[in-house]
Structure 1
Amino acid sequence: MSIIRPVMRMLCVLAATTAYMIPDTMVNAVSIHQTTTPTDQLAMLTKQRNDLENMHSNDANEISRLNQKVEELQRFRIVDLERTSMLTRRIEELERKRDDDVQAANNITPAKDEALYHNISGATPDGTTRKDEARSAYVSQSSPESRDSSSRIQYGRYRRVTRTGVSNDVVAFHVILTHTISDPSTNHPVIYDHVITNTGGASYNAYTGVFTCTQPGVHVFSWSIFEAGHHYIFTDLVRNNAVIGSAQTGQDTGFSIASSATVTVHLEGGDVVWVRVNGHGAGSDILPNLSMFTGFRL
């Protein structure tokens, strides 16, 4: 009996030590497994499935957004390629025109600044006869009666006749759009790229679409926009970032239409004028050939 008691005491201590060494996770797992019902397990699995479906839906939305972004970038790339091709063709055309102008300039013989004198007496001022007129660049006139009354001069006087050309006071330009401007943004400049007329003191830049005033005075500007049917677009005529005229092109029909507007304005030297987009309907483009820009100084 005295032996059994110490043995029993040792067994109790050993059992207590073993229970203390069991991991908490095992105890928790056993506890959860024993306390979780099939209904609770089903609810937990259902919640996990819903979470996975939500994650999948979010991923699908993100993939769709990225695909749309890729398509948009591809459209921008196509537009950039078209513009690059157009600019390359324009540069080649300008280089050809420059070469032609250089060749034409080389073939031109400088004209002499000669003065033609009309002498009523029939003799030239240095005493030579009519046979020497061609060589001396003088023209005589036989009698005062043979002259027009509007140009009659006193006997023995001489009239100087000079060559005339285009006056530097003439300011006029006319340009045409030769390519389509697709879905332009607000404030996008309309660059009319084909120059028909740019004479005198006119200073229109076909690369920027901007006219720069070189001579102060009253100027008249007219611009037209060609638009496809069922579309519309608004444009402004701008002077130094201030709107001085507006126009609307387009109508709710199936026919393409071109409309124009005219503005008269006083400009100072250095003022700049151009046409820009103010707004448009979805899918509206500016079409070529009938879109034009004209200006001149009164």
Structure 2
Amino acid sequence: MFFILFALLMVMPCAFSGKVSTKPGLKMFRDEYKSFTQTCLDLGFAKNSCNSDKVVFHVTLSKNLYNLARLGRVVFEAVDLNEGKGYDPSTGIFTVPAPGVYVFDWTTLNQVGKYALTSLVVNGTYRSQVYCDGNVNTHLSCSKMTILKLKQGDQVWIGIFGGTHGNSYMVKNYTSFSGFKL
């Protein structure tokens, strides 16, 4: 069983790349197992264990944000990863594509003397906050991780939960938002 699983993991990239191997063992393996799904079933895995239905995203700011309004939404435009297509860079909202337990993480980098009062927002409810007070003589980085059980269609984003208009500032490239399904 272990050998079959090992062989599967070693040849799977080649099997789907369209390249034909000249090695007889790989050709025989590919001929014997016609599809990825059938291979998973043959090995005794449930369909969902082998399907490539991963949900994971990582996004960053592409420009500095300042003068953030209280109860506003942070829109991360630079998409580094968006498997499952749950994150919408035009709105800053992650829409849960499948029910389950999700892990979210966000990091802000403040300008000297500025702050970022951010929260993970789920369906309009502020769930987990970070108070990042930049009242120091250097840039300040703050992070938070939150684990939630969510339903399909739930909407998640990073929002601004407080502060006075004009005193907030988040630095591009260093401010990010990530999430994945366990």
TM-score above 0.5: yes
Specify which structure has the bigger relative contact order, considering alpha-carbon pairs within 8 angstroms and separated by 6 or more residues: 2
Aligned length: 149
| Structure 1 equivalent of residue 167 of structure 2 | 283
Any stretches of 5+ residues in structure 2 without a counterpart?
1-16, 38-49
Match of 1:225 in 2: 108
Whole-Å separation in 2 of the counterparts to 1:291 and 1:138: 47
Give the Cα separation in 1 of the matches to 2:27 and 2:108. Answer: 55
Q: Which residue of 1 aligns with 2:9?
A: none
Aligned to 2:123: 240
- Whether 1:179 aligns to 2:63 is yes
More helix as a share of residues: 1
Residue of structure 2 equivalent to 1:14: none
Alignment partner of 1:160 is 2:33: yes
Aligned counterpart, 1:255: 138
Q: TM-score, normalised by structure 1?
A: 0.45
Give 1:171-210 correspondences, 5 Å limit: 171-199=55-83, 201-210=84-93
Match of 1:139 among 28, 34, 42: 28
The CA deviation at 1:236 is 1.0
Counterpart contact for 2:105–2:178, Cα < 8 Å = yes
Q: Once the 2 structures are TM-superposed, how far is the Cα of residue 296 of structure 1 from its aligned partner?
A: 0.1
RMSD: 2.9
Cα pair distance change 1:167/1:139, threshold 3 Å? closer
Report deviation, 1:189: 0.6
What are the Cα deviations for residues 120-150 of structure 1, in whole angstroms up to 9, with x where unaligned? Answer: xxxxxxxxxxxxx8xxx9739xxxxxxxxxx
Following superposition, the deviation at residue 162 of structure 1 comes to 3.4
CA deviations over 1:210-259 (Å, ceiling 9, x no partner): 00011100000001111112222211111101111111113321101111
User: Distance in 1 between the 2:82 and 2:73 partners?
Assistant: 19
By percentage of residues, which structure has more strand? 2
Whether the aligned pair in 1 keeps the contact of 2:123 and 2:154 (CA below 8 Å) is yes
Confirm or deny: 8 A CA contact 1:202 1:213 kept in the other structure.
no
TM-score scaled by length of structure 2: 0.72
Preserved CA contact (<8 Å) 1:229 1:250 = no
**Does the aligned pair in 1 maintain the 2:115–2:167 contact within 8 Å?**
no
Instruction: Write the distance in 1 (CA, Å) between the matches of 2:134 and 2:36.
Output: 52
Tell me by how many angstroms 1:161 deviates: 5.2
Higher gyration radius (CA): 1
**Aligned equivalent of 2:42:** none
